[in-house]
Amino acid sequence: MISMSLRSFTLAAMAAFAVCGLRAQVIHFESGGLKYQTRSQDGFTVMFAHLPAQLRNYSIIQVGIMNGSESVQTVRPEDFSFHRADGTVMQATPARTVVGQLLANASRNDVIKLITTYEAGLYGVSRFRSTNGYEQRRQSALAELGSPRLRAAAAASAIALVATKLKPGESTDGAVFFNTEGKPLGPGRLIARAGGHVFEFESDPDSSGKVLQERTGTSDRPE
């Protein structure tokens, strides 16, 4: 599991910036088979990685957000947009839409693959500890729902980043979904408008990611 605090992550990031000699330098690292980029401005840090699979019509990125500033900040999936090389701008899908579709349509195999991929990356980032993210949402869902099928689907939907108010020193994580109609995101720029700043990342996700398709019938649903 994750062992180090937001303070440790922030100090490590600040040290890296000092070495590079550049403010808001983008840092690249790998964890759990995922390739991350992270950037900080005035103590507010955003990191992300492309998840290697698509879910139905969606391409997915995993994000981690740490508020090391001195003020309360609110983050939401709509803060993220993807600007393709051809000039197309894609806005992230609202969490309510994504969660509704996961609860209604995600198959058992989809749930397993999505959760496994997400957790492998998140839990491998030793410098990041989310205080109000996926793990907290998952535990809440499991505690509130009695049906095994609903609990499995709810656990999967807990992955989606939701609007979250972060006090100084708090952090969150979640998946951000882009409706690409089943096509890869392709090369472009990921832009996050959060913490009173604009974070920009050059992005070239693997275009060969496997698509997780919806399956018909009840035998393949979460149980």
- Is residue 28 domain-resident? yes
- Is residue 209 domain-resident? no
- Strands 188-194 and 73-75 turn out to be unpaired
Give the structural domain span for 195.
6-204
Question: Six-digit token pair at 177?
Answer: 């979904």
Q: What separation in angstroms does the CA of 142 have from each of 138, 149, 208?
A: 6, 11, 33
- Is residue 56 domain-resident? yes
Query: Residue 122 in contact with residue 134, Cβ under 8 Å?
Result: yes
Look at the chain and report how many structural domains it folds into. 1
What's the pLDDT score for residue 15? 43
What's the pLDDT score for residue 105? 73
What's the pLDDT score for residue 181? 87
Question: Six-digit token pair at 117?
Answer: 């991929």
Burial class (CB in 10 A: 0-12, 13-18, 19+), 190: buried
What is the rounded average pLDDT of the residues 136-140?
Answer: 69
- Is residue 21 domain-resident? yes
Q: Is 27 helix (H, G, I), strand (E, B) or coil?
A: strand
- Is residue 214 domain-resident? no
Longest Cα–Cα distance in the chain: 57
CA–CA separation, 122 and 109 (whole Å):
20
**Confidence at 117, pLDDT banded by 50, 70, 90:** confident
- Is residue 72 domain-resident? yes
CA–CA separation, 104 and 110 (whole Å):
12
- Is residue 119 domain-resident? yes
- Is residue 217 domain-resident? no
